[in-house]
Amino acid sequence: MSEKRQLKLGAFIMATGHHVSAWRHPASQADAGHNIDHYKDLAQTAERGKFDLVFVADSPAGWERAKDPEALRRSSQGAHFEPITLWAALSQVTSHIGFVATASTTYEDPYLLARKFASLDHISKGRAAWNVVTTGADVSKNFSIPGHPAHADRYERAEEFVDLVKGLWDSYEDDAFVRDKASGVYLDPDKIHQLNHQGKFFTVSGPLNVARPVQGYPVIVQAGASEPGRELAARTAEMIFTANQTLEDAQEFYSDVKGRLGRYGRSTNELLISPGIFPVLGGTEKEAQEEYDYIQSLIHPSIAWTILERQYKGIDLSGYSLDDRAPPLPQNTELNKSRLKLVTDLVERNNLTLRQLYLAVAGARGHRTVVGTPEQVADAIQDWFDNGAADAFNIMPPILPTGLSDFVDQVVPILQRRGIFRTEYEGQTLRENLGLLRPANGLALPALQRKAV
């Protein structure tokens, strides 16, 4: 009997939970953003549930602060650990789970970033992944540059950045370090490669000062869904994080992105598609709904208006009340194009009021919300998995730590009983568990060819 296709799971962690008011919930850890024991507990819980990976979203500088002083006083946003440092620590108290760290191609330096991720991959024994983001939020004021680059420019830089980083990871062949004490030979100079990159944005000679990562390259994740975002993913990424509301949208995204792979000589199983899901669990449907209503009731009105102002950047909402129909959203943005489209579709499809709009995005921020029993949440996952919309899911617990431990204890066993999710890890590295091949060294190959001439 052939084995069923296997689902992959990521624990998408926001310090106190994904809901904007999670920190006020009795079950949340209010100081979570700076509490290493909290994150340690989460990583170990996700590993107990045989998750493939844990992931934290990140920005190189604080997210945009609320303008209203009342909202600022009540917002838990933007204070948490830097991901690579955090994951390096947590890799030492786990053995199989993968660690996805977000890092920006707009604000980071490629050499330094290649070095940090290569180190994380060695420290974690092959469990590192890089979530390549171009950074939607304008944080330019903290980085001595004149302004936030335009969307198209950010993606052009990202294309060169990713190629360059991969090239630096190929600086050493896997067996370059001989370290033979008897002969006194430490390394084989023929197996060191100088990249000599000269491009539009970067001039970098190499080699890197870290050996080739355990996985060849840390797994490349990408999380932009605009036209250039999809193209970058199709050419370079091995997993794509996405936000979709409906099965039809998710199917469109899935087939569109998979359809682009052939152009880059890649097959459809070389890129895993992972939408987010925000599960609100209860013993019964009624209990789940009551819990959801309770979480939503924790949103202070000043926070509600801040959420709306973020959606309506540049549009004055002062003449509106929360029960008015939501006016049209801005037509365009240089920040997060795909999220603007998603929220516009959400408003238009459901004819939302402003109140319904802020409630719809206060938790899942545009990702799919499922309120129900563990069986219903498992059904929601399997539906998209079986119907050409997902290879994996990012589980986005509303409240932490309970939202993750409840999912592990209540939903994972159902997925396992259905035969679509592992009961044991298949391998040691993140690549092995995700079923992704270890990439060949792109610089070693030309060197071999040169020798043969």
Ligand X SMILES: Cc1cc2nc3c(=O)[nH]c(=O)nc-3n(C[C@H](O)[C@H](O)[C@H](O)COP(=O)(O)O)c2cc1C
**Which stretch in 63-71, 129-137, 159-167, 193-201 sits in contact with ligand X by CB under 6 A?**
129-137
Q: Is 215 an interacting residue with respect to ligand X (CB under 6 A)?
A: no
Find the binding residues for ligand X in span 295-324 (CB under 6 A): none
Among 225, 304, 342, 414, binds ligand X (CB under 6 A): 225
Distance CA 423, CA 406 (A): 17
Q: Is 229 an interacting residue with respect to ligand X (CB under 6 A)?
A: yes
| Nearest distance, CB of residue 138 and ligand X, angstroms | 11
Among 15, 97, 168, 223, binds ligand X (CB under 6 A): 223
Among 13, 20, 128, 133, binds ligand X (CB under 6 A): 133
Distance CA 79, CA 59 (A): 11
Could you tell me the end-to-end alpha-carbon distance of the chain, in angstroms, rounded to an integer? 48
Q: Which string of DSSP letters, residue by residue, matches 110-121?
A: HHHHHHHHHHHH
Determine the longest span between alpha carbons in the chain, in angstroms.
Answer: 81
What is the size of the binding site for ligand X (CB under 6 A)? 22
Among 385, 436, 419, CA closest to 52: 436
Q: Is 337 an interacting residue with respect to ligand X (CB under 6 A)?
A: yes
**Which stretch in 225-233, 245-253, 284-292, 313-321 sits in contact with ligand X by CB under 6 A?**
225-233
Distance CA 129, CA 51 (A): 14
Nearer to ligand X, 58 or 159 (CB): 58
Find the binding residues for ligand X in span 138-197 (CB under 6 A): none
Distance CA 313, CA 453 (A): 60
Among 110, 216, 276, 372, binds ligand X (CB under 6 A): 276
Distance CA 257, CA 249 (A): 12
Among 242, 244, 369, 405, binds ligand X (CB under 6 A): 242
Bridge pairing between strands 185-187 and 177-180: antiparallel
Q: Is 226 an interacting residue with respect to ligand X (CB under 6 A)?
A: yes
186: β partners: none
Torsion of CA 218, 216, 197, 99, to 10 degrees: 10
**Which stretch in 22-30, 36-44, 182-190, 237-245 sits in contact with ligand X by CB under 6 A?**
237-245
**Which stretch in 131-139, 192-200, 379-387, 424-432 sits in contact with ligand X by CB under 6 A?**
131-139
Q: Residue holding tokens 């994951």? A: 87
Which residues, 6 or more positions from 348, have their beta carbon under 8 angstroms from its beta carbon?
none
Find the binding residues for ligand X in span 341-400 (CB under 6 A): 394
Chain residues binding ligand X by CB under 6 A are 57-59, 102, 133-136, 223-226, 229, 241-243, 276, 336-339, 394
